[in-house]
């Protein structure tokens, strides 16, 4: 059975989508069969893999509405072993539309039952909020990766997210684990970056991934070419970091 991992943090700009795309591509290169679900109305994971958002007819919105099946919504990407269920701006409306539905937090979980055995890993790129979309992702997931940027307000909001994870565990998904906290946008020259790393490791020791994602120009350029860092520049520091993270996750789950 495939492992479903949500990549979540209600703060924007912490490297969620960058991590979703590049972790998915790295797992694919390491010969795992991977599905990436874009559950963010900004649809950056979709465009970041070279898919024209305007051409999408079936995606996460239809999946959550249960007007399409997961298999019908899957698209192939140019990255080895990586499929995607894309998003479109219409996903914005889903929070309002689901609000009075029965079992509204379980829509994604139900929709994925059919395909969870088709993949080794299913990654969900969450929206930067703790709304119904993210709740659906956390209810469907087996674990969550939390990206934290090595900057001043890094730990702000983390408590809130961990409380949300706790309440999801209590009410909707007792099996939800924290896969790990991922330090992103690390710059070894900055004292602040190093302080954040120390602080996070001190507070959360075993929960923190050993891999740290460094600031890397190639990493920020790749999405504008519609490519993962693996396709764009496999020799870059960013590619090395994400491959290392993928190996860490595979080892942890083997």
- Segments making up each domain of the chain, as ranges: 3-253
Structure token digits, residue 151? 């900057």
Q: Kindly state the tokens that stand for 251.
A: 């080892």
Cβ 192 vs Cβ 175: under 8 Å: no
Residue 181 host element (H or E): strand 177-186
d(CA 102, CA 84): 27
Query: What does the pLDDT profile of the chain (254 residues) look like in tens digits?
Result: 899 999 999 888 899 999 999 999 999 999 999 999 999 999 999 999 999 999 999 999 999 998 999 999 999 999 999 999 999 988 888 888 888 888 999 999 999 999 999 999 999 999 998 889 999 999 999 999 999 999 888 888 788 889 989 999 999 999 999 999 999 999 999 999 999 999 899 989 899 999 999 999 999 999 999 999 999 999 999 999 999 999 999 999 98
CATH homologous superfamily of 3-253? P-loop containing nucleotide triphosphate hydrolases (3.40.50.300)
DSSP string across 152-183: TTTTTTHHHHHHHHHHHHHHT-TT-EEEEEEE
Sequence-distant (≥ 6) Cβ neighbours of residue 133 within 8 angstroms: 39, 40, 41, 64, 91, 94, 95, 126, 127
Residue with tokens 């140019």: 78
In 108-232, DSSP assigns E strands to 121-126, 143-149, 177-186, 208-214
Indicate the pTM of the whole model.
Answer: 0.96
């Amino acid at each position: 059975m495939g492992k479903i991992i949500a990549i979540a943090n209600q703060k924007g700009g912490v490297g969620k989508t960058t991590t979703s795309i590049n972790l998915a591509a790295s797992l694919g290169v390491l010969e795992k069969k991977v599905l990436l679900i874009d559950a963010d109305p900004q649809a950056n994971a979709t465009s970041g893999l070279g898919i024209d958002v305007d051409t999408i007819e079936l995606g996460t919105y239809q999946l959550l509405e249960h007007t399409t099946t997961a298999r019908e919504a899957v698209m192939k990407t140019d990255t080895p072993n990586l499929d995607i269920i894309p998003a479109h701006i219409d996903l914005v409306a889903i929070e309002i539309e689901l609000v009075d539905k029965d079992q509204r937090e379980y829509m994604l979980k139900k929709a994925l039952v059919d395909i969870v055995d088709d993949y080794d890993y299913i990654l969900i790129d969450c929206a930067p909020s703790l709304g119904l979309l993210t709740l659906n992702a956390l209810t469907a997931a087996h674990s969550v990766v939390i990206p934290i940027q090595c900057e001043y307000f890094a730990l702000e909001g983390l408590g809130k997210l961990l409380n949300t994870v706790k309440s999801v565990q209590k009410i909707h998904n007792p099996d939800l684990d924290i896969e790990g906290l991922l330090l992103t946008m690390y710059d070894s020259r900055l004292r602040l970056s190093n302080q954040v790393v120390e602080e996070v490791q001190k507070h959360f020791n075993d929960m923190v991934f050993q891999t740290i994602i460094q600031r890397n120009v190639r990493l920020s350029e790749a999405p504008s070419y519609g490519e993962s860092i693996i396709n764009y520049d496999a020799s870059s520091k960013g590619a090395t970091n994400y491959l290392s993270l993928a190996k860490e996750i595979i080892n942890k789950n083997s």
